[in-house]
Chains A and B, each alone.
Chain A
Amino acid sequence: MVCDNCKERDAVINLTQVEHDSKVTLHLCEQCAQEKGVETGVAVLKSPLGGFITAMGKGTANLLPTPADGLRCPSCGATLKDFRETGRLGCAECYQAFNTHLRDLLRRLHGSSQHVGERYAAPGQEEADPRHRLLDLKEQLRRAVENENFELAADLRDRIRVLE
């Protein structure tokens, strides 16, 4: 469809306006939409937060790398590919099975992968000793530095600080 405004470029956005109780829908190209003060999806993508914003909602799964698609959750049988396609995990165990991929995704989605809200222990189950958790994190930090993954290392350092 051609842009209603310049009648040259392809329309990429439908702008619906209600004026005097009648509805007018304009089909606009990115440039004309911007001139009318409408933030287009394309423009959002170009902003520094664009990657973060598109990561929300149904687009989430597409952020994951493809080679690991065959990775399978031993508990429910869901694969990483299933997650990429549906945007939904199969079960709680998937978080452990796809641990490294999800940690990366969660950090992109939420800015962190470390839960700092209320702690919870199911009835009859004691919460894991935080000291074990700390040792585990320190081991992860050592590996991250070894692999020169400094972004992850910084995140781990922050999480260790919280626990300490």
Chain B
Amino acid sequence: MIDLSLLPDGGMRWLDASGPKGSIVLSTRIRLARNLQGYAFSQRARDADRTAILTRVEEAVSASDRLGGGVGFRLDQMERGDRQLLHERHLVSKELAGLDREARPRPGAALLVQGPIGVMVNEEDHLRLNGLRSGFALEEAYANLEAADGELGQLLPFAFHAEFGYLTSCPTNAGTGLRASVLIHLPGLVLTKEIGKVLQGLSQVGLTFRGLYGEGSEVVGNFFQLSNQTTLGKSEEELLDHLGKIVRQVITYEEQAREMLLQNAPTEVADKTWRAYGLLKYARSLSFEETMNLLSGVRLGAGLNLIPGLSVYTLNKLLIFTQPAHLAALEGRSTGDPELPTMRATYVRRVLDAEAG
């Protein structure tokens, strides 16, 4: 069992809903893809190269002002449940954690964390620097990350090309290597059936959307990750500025949709919210997917002040701690335990009862 208490806030300060637009936007995440000169990219690298890369990155990180003194996790030496736990906290990708069927983490796969910055080592690219913030906070997330990247770039030789920019394993990331994503809750647009238009519009302005866990994941509970599609031919500031503008627009649409629902269908919205709350509070067995969908309904109600005394922070915590690996760790079971749905219901009930005081 890994000791997550080593992370001062469990790597989850972003959950506290303290950031701007916290009731609609859960988190802002920016990642920079970097590779070291002189080694093949991760997929083609030999195991000896991968461990050598990890050693070099570890040395650079401990010599850095901003990243030194952090915590490291060797994914390749961890049990599956623990790896899944880090993935559920959005600290590592599915690929790095080796969670796909039959997959194992690559030798040298690691996560280094210092404050709001995480560095995945030996992911698809040698380094993936991640900056995570609560709410809608692109500028803050980038300022931190850029400084850490600048420091590492002076300690390690990154692969860079005058024309193509930072060189990445997949050409879809070349150039800036920057992907910014905003995790946003859009129940209003889904209920008013406007979501299709919005998502279609996104692809026309060079943005893309994904599910809760990023690439390849399904959309559950009306949570969407909106991010930039292209990484080359525009500066970092332009990319962030463009994403920021569009996300602000989507937030406005969502607020308008919620306003419209309140005006045109107040009973239906209240009913939906309270039904979801009732199920969460009294159900005796809950699947993770059902929990997500119910939390979405309750979150909408909390955002509209329909459910007094229920904080978004509590709902964010439920979102994380009802996930299979978290629940299993909490209860000392395996993630495949058939009793997990019962335990999930008990856990949700306990948290909601405590909140109601």
Smallest CB–CB gap between B39 and chain A, Å? 7
* Cβ of A45 under 8 Å from chain B: no
CA distance A105 to B171 in the complex (A): 8
Smallest CB–CB gap between A67 and chain B, Å? 20
Q: Which residue of B lies closest to A118 (CB)?
A: B236
Which of chain A's residues 10-65 have a Cβ closer than 8 Å to chain B?
18, 21, 37-39, 44, 49, 53, 56-57, 60
State the majority secondary structure of interface residues on A. loop
Taking CB atoms, residues of chain B closer than 8 Å to A118 are 176, 235-236
Smallest CB–CB gap between B156 and chain A, Å? 8
Chain A, 59-103, contact with B by CB distance < 8 Å: what is the 0/1 string? Answer: 010000000000000001010000000111111100110000011
Chain B, 32-74, contact with A by CB distance < 8 Å: what is the 0/1 string? Answer: 0001010111011000000000000000000000000000000
Which of chain B's residues 162-201 have a Cβ closer than 8 Å to chain A?
162-167, 169-172, 174-176, 178, 193, 196, 200
Taking CB atoms, residues of chain B closer than 8 Å to A125 are 157
* Cβ of A127 under 8 Å from chain B: yes
CA distance A133 to B164 in the complex (A): 13
Smallest CB–CB gap between B137 and chain A, Å? 21
CA distance A86 to B42 in the complex (A): 13
Decide if A117 touches B176 in the complex (CB within 8 Å). yes
Specify which of B43, B155, B167, B293 is in contact with A88 (CB 8 Å cutoff): B43
Smallest CB–CB gap between A121 and chain B, Å? 8
* Cβ of A110 under 8 Å from chain B: yes
CA distance A115 to B161 in the complex (A): 9
Specify which of A38, A114, A120 is in contact with B233 (CB 8 Å cutoff): A114
CA distance A19 to B39 in the complex (A): 51
* Cβ of B159 under 8 Å from chain A: yes
CA distance A38 to B200 in the complex (A): 10
CA distance A57 to B158 in the complex (A): 24
Taking CB atoms, residues of chain A closer than 8 Å to B231 are 110
Decide if A88 touches B124 in the complex (CB within 8 Å). yes
Taking CB atoms, residues of chain B closer than 8 Å to A133 are 162-163
Chain B, 322-333, contact with A by CB distance < 8 Å: what is the 0/1 string? Answer: 000000000000
Decide if B170 touches A76 in the complex (CB within 8 Å). no
Specify which of B43, B158, B203, B230 is in contact with A49 (CB 8 Å cutoff): B203
* Cβ of A160 under 8 Å from chain B: no
Contact status of A115 and B229, CB under 8 A, knowing A60-B170, A122-B37, A123-B157: no
CA distance A117 to B180 in the complex (A): 15
Decide if B233 touches A110 in the complex (CB within 8 Å). yes
CA distance A57 to B161 in the complex (A): 22
Decide if B162 touches A21 in the complex (CB within 8 Å). no
Residues of A bordering B, CB below 8 Å: 18, 21, 37-39, 44, 49, 53, 56-57, 60, 76, 78, 86-92, 95-96, 102-103, 105-106, 109-118, 120-125, 127-128, 133, 159
Can you list 24 pairs linking A and B with CB atoms under 8 Å apart? A37-B193, A37-B196, A56-B172, A78-B44, A86-B43, A88-B41, A91-B41, A92-B35, A92-B41, A95-B161, A106-B164, A106-B174, A110-B174, A110-B230, A113-B164, A114-B163, A115-B163, A115-B174, A117-B175, A118-B176, A122-B153, A123-B155, A123-B157, A133-B163
Beyond the given A110-B175, A115-B164, please list 15 additional residue pairs across the A-B interface where CB-CB is below 8 A: A21-B290, A60-B172, A89-B170, A89-B171, A92-B35, A92-B167, A109-B171, A111-B230, A113-B233, A114-B232, A114-B233, A115-B175, A115-B232, A117-B236, A122-B157
Residues of B bordering A, CB below 8 Å: 35, 37, 39-41, 43-44, 124, 153-167, 169-172, 174-176, 178, 193, 196, 200, 203-204, 208, 229-236, 239, 275, 279, 290, 293-294
Closest 10 CB pairs of A and B: A115-B165, A112-B233, A92-B159, A122-B157, A110-B232, A117-B176, A110-B230, A91-B40, A92-B167, A120-B160
